[in-house]
Amino acid sequence: MNIEKLIIEIIPPSDYQHRNGFNNIHIIDNLTDKEKKQVIGLLIEKLLYKKNEEIDILIVETLAYLKSKESLPVLKNLLENCSNELDKLKIATSIFEINHDNDMVDMAITSLKKIDDKNDSYYVHKLTSSFYYLIKFNKPEVNRIIHEYINHKEYLVSYNAKRALGIL
């Protein structure tokens, strides 16, 4: 298969029509080792040339799923230069999925504390999304933090904290 065409299948345009409910795992799981290496190289390139553009988290998460150690320098650079706390949390989670770097746990907790800002209009959405990234660390300290939200006054926050912890 043409590798450029494959990349478009794996990383479709980042709009609602193409990304809502999208999952590329079944495509990746059917790739040969050679194709995976090519895909990794092209995805890393896509991240390298994202100057002053929004980070495509699907690329980051795809590299994490592929356990791409080659992408770690680029991902760490993205993490250092990212100003969006939810994206920072997602990048830290992806780095942790690749190399189990415990520094990423602290980074994720720090990001969560900044996301927990009731003055932000997207507070509930950001916070609830955060739980599903934090739970991937599978660390007692992270689970305790999520547990602190199970009785939150915002129903969606409480519900999603319970759901992420598997309480529901």
Q: How far apart are CA 163 and CA 159, in angstroms?
A: 6
User: How does pLDDT run across 151-166, given as a tens digit for each residue?
Assistant: 999 999 999 999 999 9
pLDDT of residue 129: 96
Token pair in block for residue 135: 């739970």
pLDDT of residue 138: 94
pLDDT of residue 161: 97
Q: How far apart are CA 30 and CA 134, in angstroms?
A: 28
User: How does pLDDT run across 61-93, given as a tens digit for each residue?
Assistant: 999 999 999 999 999 999 999 999 999 999 999
pLDDT along the chain (168 residues), means of 10: 88 92 95 95 88 82 97 95 94 98 96 94 95 96 96 96 94
pLDDT of residue 48: 85
